[in-house]
C-alpha cells in the first residue's frame, strides 16, 4: 500500500486524484493546495481512499509526490521530496522546469528513487508515441511533434508564454534555437480537428527525446496557433482562461528507412489534454510507487519499451491511432 501526495489541485491535479483514488494499492491521498476550502467537496467524493487536504508548507512523509503545480519551481520541490525518500512525478511542460529536473539525476540515483519528468500530454504522451513509432523503422532520421489544445488555466498561461519564447530543436547533432512564433507549418490533426497552422514555441519534447535518440538528425515540436495567438503572445492573456481547454490533439510524424526504402509513420491522438495528462501522470505515479521503474531522472521517451504504457493508457481511454494513408507498409 502507498501514500501519494498531489501538490496542486487545479484541473489536472483533481483528475489525477480521482484516478489514483480508484487504485487498490493506494490507501491515502494528500492533496496540497493554496485553497483548501475549495476542494473539501472533492475530498468527500473520494470514498475509496483516505484523503487529507493540506496548505503549502513542508512536504508530508509519502511514497510518491505528484507535482501538478503551475510551471516554475518544480525542481526545488522535487529535491525536497528526494531528500525525504519519495519518488517524484512532474507534469510541468516548461523547458526550464524540465532542464532543472534533469540536473537532479545524481541525487535521485543516490537515494534510489525515480523522478519522472514531463508526465503529461506533451511532453509525456507525445514522447511515448514517438518512441513507439520509431520501432516501425530500421533507421530513424526525423521526429516531428505537433500539438493542439491546452489543459486548465495554468496550462493555457504556460503555452501562451511559450509562444513568445525561443524554441529549441535538434538539428544534425546540435541544439538550434529559433524565435517562437516562426516556422509556420500546416499540420493535419485527427478529425474533427483537421488542418491547423502550427509554429515553433518553447516546447520540451526534443529535450526529453534526444537522450533516447542521439543519432536522429532532426527532432522538432510545434504548437497550433491563430494569427491572434502569435500577435498577442508578448502580452498578458487578453481573455480569462477556460476552466478546461476542451478537445486537443497530437500528431507525431517519424521519418526514416526500412531496409533501403524511405518510410514515414504518422500517429495521431484526439482527446482533452487535461484528461490525457492526468491519465499519464496517474499511471506514472501508480507504477513508480511499485518500485519497479528505472531509478534516476527520466522522461517517458527514454523508456526502452513504451508499449505497456500505451496499452494501459488505451484501456483507460487514451488511445493513439496510426494514419494508414501515409505509411508505405
Q: pLDDT digits over 240-261, tens only?
A: 777 777 789 999 999 999 999 9
Predicted confidence (pLDDT) at residue 235 exceeds the cutoff of 90: no
Mean pLDDT of 161-184: 93
CA 53 to chain centre: 25
Domain boundary among 224, 256, 272: 272
Closest Cα to residue 10, out of 243, 271, 228?
243
Predicted confidence (pLDDT) at residue 329 exceeds the cutoff of 50: no
Q: Has residue 241 been placed in a domain?
A: yes
Residues 234 and 182 in one domain: yes
Residues 218 and 141 in one domain: yes
Contact by Cβ (8 Å): 113, 141: no
Residues 50 and 134 in one domain: no
**pLDDT tens for residues 29-87?**
999 988 777 777 777 777 678 888 888 888 999 999 999 999 999 999 999 999 999 99
**pLDDT tens for residues 268-309?**
999 999 999 999 999 999 999 888 789 999 999 999 899 999
Query: Which pLDDT value is given to residue 325?
Result: 56
| 64-67 β-sheet, strand order | 50-54, 26-32, 2-7, 64-67, 87-90, 114-117, 296-299
Residues 80 and 99 in one domain: yes
Which is more confident, 35 or 194? Answer: 194
Q: DSSP label at 166?
A: P
Structural domain range at position 243:
125-272
Q: Has residue 317 been placed in a domain?
A: no
Contact by Cβ (8 Å): 105, 98: no
Residues 232 and 257 in one domain: yes
Query: Which pLDDT value is given to residue 328?
Result: 44
Where do the H-state alpha helices sit in the chain? 11-21, 40-45, 74-83, 95-102, 105-111, 125-133, 153-162, 205-209, 227-232, 273-288, 307-315
- Cell numbers describing residue 311: 496499452
Q: Has residue 44 been placed in a domain?
A: yes
Distance CA 145, CA 255 (A): 12
pTM of the entire structure?
0.93
Q: Has residue 322 been placed in a domain?
A: no
Residues 84 and 147 in one domain: no
Residues 182 and 90 in one domain: no
Relative to beta strand 261-271, strand 248-258 is antiparallel
Residues 134 and 224 in one domain: yes
Q: How many CB atoms lie within 10 A of CB 237?
A: 13
Residues 33 and 160 in one domain: no
Give the range among 14-28, 29-43, 117-131, 302-316 with minimum mean pLDDT. Answer: 29-43
Distance CA 27, CA 316 (A): 21
Q: Has residue 316 been placed in a domain?
A: no
Residues 14 and 105 in one domain: yes
CATH number for the domain spanning 43: value is 3.40.50.720
Q: Has residue 323 been placed in a domain?
A: no
Which is more confident, 106 or 1? Answer: 106
Mean pLDDT of 116-121: 97
Query: Which pLDDT value is given to residue 327?
Result: 41
Q: Can you point out the beta strands (E) in the chain?
A: 2-7, 26-32, 50-54, 64-67, 87-90, 114-117, 139-148, 167-171, 174-178, 185-189, 194-200, 218-224, 248-258, 261-271, 296-299, 321-322
Predicted confidence (pLDDT) at residue 326 exceeds the cutoff of 50: no
Residues 137 and 249 in one domain: yes
Q: Has residue 312 been placed in a domain?
A: no
CATH number for the domain spanning 142: value is 3.30.360.10
Q: Has residue 315 been placed in a domain?
A: no
Distance CA 188, CA 251 (A): 8
Residues 144 and 104 in one domain: no
Predicted confidence (pLDDT) at residue 127 exceeds the cutoff of 70: yes
Instruction: Please give the tally of structural domains in the chain.
Output: 2
Residues with Cβ within 8 Å of residue 284, at least 6 apart in sequence: 89, 116, 119, 300
Amino acid at each position: 500500500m502507498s501514500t501519494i501526495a498531489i501538490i496542486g489541485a487545479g484541473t489536472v491535479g483533481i483528475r489525477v486524484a480521482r484516478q489514483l483514488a480508484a487504485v487498490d494499492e493506494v490507501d491515502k491521498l494528500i492533496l496540497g493546495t493554496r485553497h483548501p476550502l475549495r476542494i473539501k467537496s472533492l475530498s468527500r467524493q473520494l470514498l475509496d481512499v483516505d484523503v487529507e487536504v493540506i496548505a503549502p508548507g513542508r512536504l508530508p512523509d509519502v511514497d510518491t509526490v505528484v507535482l501538478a503545480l503551475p510551471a516554475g519551481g518544480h525542481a526545488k520541490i522535487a529535491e525536497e521530496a528526494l531528500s525525504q525518500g519519495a519518488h517524484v512525478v512532474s507534469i510541468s511542460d516548461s523547458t526550464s522546469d524540465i532542464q532543472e529536473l534533469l540536473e537532479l539525476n545524481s541525487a535521485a540515483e543516490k537515494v534510489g528513487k525515480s523522478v519522472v519528468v514531463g508526465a503529461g500530454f506533451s511532453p509525456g504522451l507525445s514522447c511515448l508515441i514517438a518512441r513507439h513509432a520509431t520501432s516501425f523503422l530500421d533507421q530513424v532520421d526525423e521526429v516531428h511533434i505537433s500539438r493542439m489544445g491546452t489543459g486548465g488555466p495554468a496550462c493555457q498561461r504556460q503555452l501562451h508564454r511559450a509562444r513568445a519564447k525561443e524554441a529549441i530543436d535538434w538539428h544534425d547533432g546540435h541544439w538550434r534555437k529559433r524565435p517562437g512564433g516562426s516556422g509556420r507549418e500546416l499540420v493535419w490533426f485527427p478529425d474533427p480537428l483537421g488542418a491547423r497552422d502550427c509554429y515553433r514555441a518553447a516546447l520540451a519534447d526534443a529535450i526529453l527525446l534526444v537522450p533516447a535518440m542521439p543519432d536522429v538528425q532532426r527532432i522538432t515540436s510545434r504548437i497550433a496557433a491563430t494569427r491572434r495567438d502569435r500577435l498577442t503572445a508578448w502580452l498578458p492573456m487578453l481573455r480569462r482562461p477556460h476552466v478546461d481547454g476542451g478537445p486537443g490533439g497530437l500528431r507525431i510524424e517519424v521519418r526514416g528507412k526500412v531496409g533501403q526504402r524511405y518510410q514515414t509513420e504518422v500517429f495521431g491522438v484526439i482527446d482533452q489534454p487535461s484528461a490525457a495528462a492526468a491519465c499519464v501522470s496517474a499511471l506514472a505515479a501508480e507504477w513508480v510507487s511499485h518500485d519497479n521503474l528505472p531509478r534516476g531522472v527520466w522522461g517517458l521517451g527514454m523508456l526502452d519499451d513504451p508499449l505497456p504504457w500505451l496499452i494501459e493508457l488505451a484501456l483507460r481511454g487514451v488511445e493513439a491511432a496510426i494514419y494508414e494513408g501515409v505509411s508505405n507498409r
